[in-house]
Amino acid sequence: MKKYGLIGYPLTHSFSKKYFSDKFTREGTSDCQYDLYEIDSIKSLPEIIASQEELIGINVTIPYKEQVIPYLDKLDPACKAIGAVNCIKLTSNGLVGYNTDYYGFKTSLTNWLGEERPQALILGTGGASKAVCQALKDLEIPFLKVSRNPDPSAKDTISYDEIKKSPDYLAKYPLIINSTPLGTFPNVSAMPDLPIAELNKGNWYYDLVYNPTETAMMTAAANMGAKTKNGIEMLHLQAEAAWDIWNK
């Protein structure tokens, strides 16, 4: 039996097990299994690997995309630039880290934007935001990061309070990308602290959250006329990229 899985905490929101289980059924792959490993500390990773001899690949989700790096033996060159890992391949030479979020997000975003390249606000500065930043750099889309407590020395990061004081940010940076878990099941009422009344049809709101399929913030943005998109296409694209890595 070939085993694959997902580490993170919590994992109540994850569709990964269903996605891969459905994939195995659809493709008639009877010798594969995908499991969830909900761990409250990244220190549990070596124990999981030691206890699962048939494990071939692991997905990594919140909050371990950065914390997992010291446990890896090698990083894919592209992954080094991003600074976060969401995919691990177990090899005879150790654990190799990759980032398929980058591919999934970049492909999904360009599918949505077409030829448009609006300047962007990236909500959040965690592991998921690092893949988003790299994708926007490669697409030559200028951006600012938004944090609740930005580092005063970080010139590319502003606070939510600054946006509320100067709503013009939402016009100057019409593409808003939520890379935080805000709004994820079961806390579906949570929303980024943005001046929603300032949104309009000139805005694009991309939410990396995919469960629920429409977050409270997506609904609020759409009600103001903004175009919205969730993270389900990104999820599918990054999952297939991980599958290719594990089996190449």
The set of catalytic residues is 65
Note whether 128 and 177 are within 8 A (CB): no
Name which of 45, 35, 47, 43 is nearest 11 in CA terms. 35
Angle at which helix 232-247 crosses helix 16-26, to 10 degrees, equals: 60
Name which of 239, 237, 220 is nearest 228 in CA terms. 220
Provide the residue type at 168 as one letter: D
Polymer length in residues for the chain = 248
> What is the strand order of the sheet 94-98 is part of?
32-38, 2-8, 55-60, 87-91, 94-98, 74-75
Q: Pull the structure tokens for residue 172.
A: 């100057």
* Exposure class string for 161-194: b at 16+ Cβ within 10 A, else e: eebeeeeebbeebbbbbbbbbbbbeeebeebbeb
Note whether 4 and 58 are within 8 A (CB): yes
Cα–Cα distance list, 152 to 14, 24, 79 (Å):
34, 48, 27
In angstroms, the CA 181 to CA 209 distance is 7
